[in-house]
Copies of this chain bind each other. A is one copy, B any other.
Amino acid sequence: MTELRGPVRIVGTGLIGTSIGLALARLGVVVELVDADPDNALMAERIGAGSRLVQLEPQLVVVAVPPDHVGAVVAEQLKQTDAIVTDAASVKSKPLAEARTLSSAEDLTRYVGSHPMAGSERNGPLAGRADLFDGATWAVTPHETSDPDAVELVRRLAEAAGARTVELSVEDHDLAVARVSHLPQLMSSLAAGTLVDAPAAHLELSGQGVRDVTRIAASDPGLWTQIVSANSPALSGLLEGIRDELDRLLIALGKEEAADEVTAVLNRGVSGAVRVPGKHGAPHIELVAVLVTIPDRPGQLARLFNDAAASGANVEDLRIDHSPGRPVGEVELDVKPDSVDQLVRVLTERGWAVHR
């Protein structure tokens, strides 16, 4: 069996690298911290993610540098050490191609890509958390010549960090993240972009829909430029599909009767939306929404959740509707169908305005 013994060298002590260090340090694994910016490595060391000075040769190197540099740093680490090398980049084809160009075929057997799927809106070592990966998905993406022991060691790393591993080929992984992450990001950015020149009065008509669709458009453009550029082959195919659908839609909208094409786009959207896994992973769990009107002042949510808990219902998801200017808020509690009646009864008894 391939055990994760350490030391583990982490190259790049941003959010991801530092969080991996913190997760391993809590298990007693020796972690070496390396960063091109000495202040970053120092900060990561100070919060307990590892040490900047480790004399022993690493068993495993984790490359967690910005996307544009991953391939080169992987190749460098393969050359400098005899360790297994993995990386944490969110696109896998490009770093593999770069590492392949820069490394010997023999060295490349020690490389296995991986992608821990957790993040935060905050960056840098001080945002690092030992529990960032608890229960998160961590894709492990071996290439054709990856050594099976190396693959196993990278799995152990992910599990040590608390994650659930999913093994995918490099190509499959990149198409998957293009679909479930990079394309939604671009669609959100394009939709939000139409609001730049809108008169303020137009924005007053905003509701929850536009808020949801444009939320991730506020993400860091520097990081996302690197991700989108790195995954352009997988993304281009999907974007061409969208462009072609837009062309058909535009032709239809110019005619007297646009209905068929519009309905086709909307129906396809429904079929896709219901496939997105819910709270506890696929399959999609049927939840029922219970709407409760609440006064917008401190303590009301606490009172509501006390009363919901008293009914025995587990709130699986919730949303606050915060339409501009409403003096009261509306909270949507999503619960399993068999909890609904009891929840509605208890909340109503306790004086809440409840709607199903």
Contact = CB atoms under 8 A, between A and B. Distances in A.
A137 B270 contact: no
When all copies of this chain in the complex are counted, the total is: 2
Given A117-B205, A298-B309, A275 B324 contact: no
A302 interface: yes
Given A277-B203, A317-B322, A213 B184 contact: yes
A242 B190 contact: yes
Nearest to A189: B269
A200 to B, nearest CB: 6
Contact of A259 (B168, B225, B253, B315): B225
A225 B268 contact: no
B246 A278 contact: no
Interface stretch (A3-11, A34-42, A95-103, A171-179): A171-179
Interface string A103-136: 0000000000000011011100001010100111
A193 B269 contact: yes
Nearest to A313: B298
A351 interface: no
A249 to B, nearest CB: 7
A217 B272 contact: yes
Interface of A: 117-118, 120-122, 127, 129, 131, 134-137, 139, 164, 166, 168, 172-173, 175-177, 179-181, 183-196, 198-207, 209-219, 221-222, 224-225, 228-229, 232, 235-236, 238-243, 245-247, 249-250, 253-254, 257-259, 262-263, 265-282, 289, 291, 293, 296-299, 301-302, 304-306, 308-309, 312-320, 322-329, 353, 355-356
